Amino acid sequence: MARAQVGKELHFETPNETGVLGRVTLALAEEDVYIVHLSAYTVGDKGYFQIVTRDNEKAKKAISYFVKNIVERDILIVEFENKVGTLAPVVKLLGNENIGINYVYGTSGDGFKIVGVFSTENNQKAAELINQDSGTLS
């Protein structure tokens, strides 16, 4: 079984410098910004961040003194049961409905559920389809 909701994610890039992840997370912590999901990686001389917080406006303000171009994007947050094979029917459903997936990342921190953060070609429609078919996706 899966549940889906549309949310917002902050996207930004930084120079690929040692300590930049620490600067970002410390700036957020100092402003009491709760990080819900985080993806950070480097390619060449750039660092790329995708962060879901409980307060994106507060987060943008906290890091704006050293991160200049912060973009807020729609995402799809999907919760799955933490067992083998729960992702496959969800992505099959999206494919069958011709909804392309731009990217996905996720975690399984509590042992009971997996949370996937997706960017799709139509997050609202994807959420509706997943929630509608939730009982048949397990």
Does an H or E element contain 104, and which?
strand 101-107
Beta bridge partners of 8: 74
- Give the strand pairing for 71-81 and 101-107: unpaired
Q: How far apart are CA 127 and CA 123, in angstroms?
A: 6
Tokens of 52: 């879901």
Asked if residue 4 has pLDDT above 90, the reply is yes
Tokens of 135: 């009982």
Full-prediction pTM beyond 0.95? no
Residues near 131 by beta carbon (within 8 Å), at least 6 away in sequence = 3, 4
Share the mean pLDDT of the chain. 93
Q: What are the tens digits of pLDDT across the range 36-95?
A: 999 999 999 999 999 999 999 999 999 999 998 999 999 999 998 888 888 999 999 999
Domains of the chain (ranges, CATH numbers) = 8-73 (3.30.2130.10), 74-136 (3.30.2130.10)
Exposed/middle/buried for 51, CB within 10 Å: 0-12, 13-18, 19+? buried
